Amino acid sequence: MATSSLGPVRLQRATHNPVLSPIEGSDWEGRTVFNTGVADVDGATVLIYRAQGTGSDVSRLGFAVSTDGVHFARLDRPVFVPDAPNEVKGVEDPRLTYLDGRWYMVYTAWSEGNIEVAMASTTNFFTWERHGTVIPGPDNKDAALFPDKVGGRYAMFHRIPPSMWLAFSDDLTGGQWGDYAEIMRPRPGNWDGWKLGAGGPPIRTDHGWLVIYHGVAQPKRYCLGVAMLDLDDPRKVINWPAAAVLEPEEPWELRGDVDNVVFTCGTSERNGKYYVYYGGADTAIGVATIDREELIDFALHSDSWRG
């Protein structure tokens, strides 16, 4: 539970958690169902989630939809599968952003000895146009595209270990991403003291870009925290609370394919609340909620890290 001069701040887990779990016997989602991109579409919540079967480590992406943000129906087949040399070992951890009339998905493309950021786009979540590598490896992931241009350019989070970085481009799909800037680095001795990376795309507020991110402490315990970045120059961190807002506590978060993990790739806004979707122990998907203004206030005014 996060605490500050404002008092405790806690994301509230849904009573129906996990909202998606592996399907026994499925050849593509029988082992794990976890890290999910999130899209708000005409009052519904769409999840594009990562899944693995029991026969290999290769990840594919599935589709689920809900009208209440908690109860989901899903397809019995993946909607996005490895289809390029740079992703033969899997497509992982999608993040979804709506821009220029399309949904853009940045995801981790995994091949032998190389982890990099690739992009695809869609208007319906079932047919996709691939745009190839946007940020090369050999070890770059945790990418999330901003929902608006910043200073006339497109902006994207990414991770060069062990820190969280920004990249910029004049051309969303055809140009070079560059001007890398490190914005958040591990805070030794804190819950995010080993490495950290973006959660979902940042959320525009009147006060700045609200960032929900993951941080890791040894021995590999993943938690979620928040920060607020400047609207005009997100390289500037306005405030970075010291405390986590969600930690692995439930049995399905503590034990699974990878123990002690809560990991988000996206957030939905519904009825004045943020619905934060997260993978638990790299095995199932849950959701936790918080009042929108409460989380913004916490991100802006809670005590920052003091090392």
**CATH number belonging to the domain at 12-301, selected among 2.115.10.20, 3.10.105.10, 3.40.50.2300, 3.40.50.720:** 2.115.10.20
**What does each C-alpha distance from 290 to 159, 238, 266, 287, 298 come to in angstroms?**
26, 21, 14, 10, 11
Residue-range domain boundaries for the chain? 12-301
% of the chain at pLDDT higher than 70: 97
Q: Quote the CA–CA distance of 251 and 18 in Å, as a whole number.
A: 11
pLDDT digits (tens, 9 = 90+) for 66-90: 999 999 999 999 999 999 999 999 9
Q: Is the pLDDT confidence value at 305 over 80?
A: no
DSSP track, 54-111: SS-S-EEEEEEEESSSSS-EE-SS-SB---SGGGTTEEEEEEEEEETTEEEEEEEEEE
Query: What's the pLDDT tens digit per position in 237-279?
Result: 999 999 999 999 999 999 999 999 999 999 999 999 999 999 9
Over the stretch 211-233, which tens digit does the pLDDT of each residue have?
999 999 999 999 999 999 999 99
Residues in contact with 28: Cβ distance below 8 Å, sequence separation at least 6, in sequence order: 51, 52, 53, 60, 62, 77, 78
Q: What does DSSP assign to residue 7? A: -
